[in-house]
Amino acid sequence: MRRLLTSRHPGPGATPVWRCARVAAAAGGGVLLYLSFPPYTTWWLALPAFALLGPVLWGRGARSGFGYGFLFGMGFLLPLLSWTSIYVGPVPWVALTVAESAFIGLAAAGMSVVSRLPGAPLWTAAVWVAGEALRGRVPFGGLPWGRVGFGQPDGPLLPIAAIGGEPLLSYAAVLAGLAAGELVRRLVVHRSPVKGNPAMPALAVAAALAAGPLAGLVPPTPGTPQRTITVAAIQGNVPRLGLDFNAQRRAVLDNHVKVTRQLADEVAAGTRPQPDIVIWPENSSDINPLRNPDAAAAIDSAARAVGAPVLVGTVLSNPDATTTNSSLVWEAGTGPVARNDKRRVQPFGEYIPWRGFFRLFSSYVDRGGNFVDGTGSGAVDMAGVRVGDVICWEVAFDDLVADSIDAGATLLAVPSNNATFGLSDMTYQQLAMSRVRAVEHDRPVVVATTSGVSAMIAPDGTVTQRTGQFEPGILVDQPTLKDTTTLATRWRSAPEWVLVALSVGAVVVGVVVRRRGRRGRKDEHG
């Protein structure tokens, strides 16, 4: 480990005290990045997090950068992903954290390589985004959880999401932090080869922080006139927490029927407006209503009482013994009139890759599902409204949300089931993602969960209504539907790929420059 965390050419600052300081700064920076994420509102801690990481990586070799980046990742992801351990124990949680921290270590290795190039913060921030792009795609479809931009819904940088999506939002936040760290390094460290000139990093900090307010001045492309609708979200709650919550599937369904009937009574009493559409959560009817007449009758009675079509989250069986996580648009007296299947199911939850291998680490793999990815556009029609149906963790994936918008969605629904993870940060982290998506695509978002937090989100990312956790709840809002087009919607993943290309180019240049430097030093010493 000592060899991993030290430079091949140590020079000044290679004493044990300095090594310990760098280790503490790397791990501490990761903890600060965690604290910048919801449920905390200290979004600004992302800046000192990277301000600590940047100087630690400056001038280091790739192997040292990997080690420090790995420590940064552990400090960040170990608390961020702690909700994964609540009911399955610490081994899967720690294993996941180690694997994901290795990706951060890889990004930090690249950041170290480019750290001495002119304008280094510009390139190191791009390398970080490239690392997030990789981590969000591999293995098993990737884990985009914990991308830096998802921790910024309360910060002034949020409008950048409408320009370049989450990747550009991440880039701006990371750039501001790295440039701040470089500014401090140049002001404090007298042996800087840039002769201590603080102008460039100071300008980069100012530009990154100004990018958010400036992005807010860029209007989306106008669409056709749209109407205002009344939408309701139902949170029926679950009978108990944990992995066994769905053992009482009928109770979960009955809870959502009961709360929907309560909404119908309030509409009849004139205390709530009549909804045009109603959104139920993921897994609100894990009893297949296409095969179970009692479940179908219960759902139909709720739709009839409330007088609106209901988007019902259910689990459907396939002829090959696999299952799909699906949403059905249920109309009273007619039944399901539209269906959308979850297009990217969750590894180690909805299905278990390499089941035999992972059984060696946890017996819980045998409780994993046998779900398969669905196909389709990710949008359904409800009472003349095109609703983007982004089921639970799909909200973390840029392409899936963009596909729903491209399919004509003027409203985004995020039906989720967070009961599996108990009273944890997970639901707040997911809510933050929905807020970023609202800004990214200029759409109102409805988050409906079995156990909370359910929410109504305006296109500017503001949470206008929300429920508590593990209690029944009803939300009713009247958003104005939009079919405007933001630059992020139009460009999709192009900004991310531009940043990835810049990072690859910078790493290549950094490697060439370092090799030439070593060759020059050898020639000097004969």
Q: Which residues are catalytic?
A: 282, 342, 392
**155 strand-pairing partners:** none
Number of CB atoms found within 10 A of residue 293's CB: 9
- Whole-number Å distance between alpha carbons of 180 and 173: 11
Contact 326, 318 (CB under 8 A): no
- Whole-number Å distance between alpha carbons of 500 and 268: 55
Please provide the DSSP assignment of 76-88 as one string.
HHHHHTGGGGTTT
3-state secondary structure 260-275: HHHHHHHHHHCCCCCC
- Whole-number Å distance between alpha carbons of 461 and 439: 6
Please provide the DSSP assignment of 182-237 as one string.
HHHHHHH-TT-TTTT--HHHHHHHHHHHHHHHHHTTSPPBP-----B--EEEEE--
Tokens 């409906």 appear where? 448
Give the residue from 378, 321, 313, 328 showing the smallest Cα distance to 351: 321
Containing 254, the helix (H) or strand (E) segment is helix 249-269
Give the residue from 53, 34, 74 showing the smallest Cα distance to 127: 53
Backbone phi, psi, residue 324, to 5°? -125, 140
Q: 332 — alpha (psi -120 to 50), left (phi > 0) or beta?
A: beta
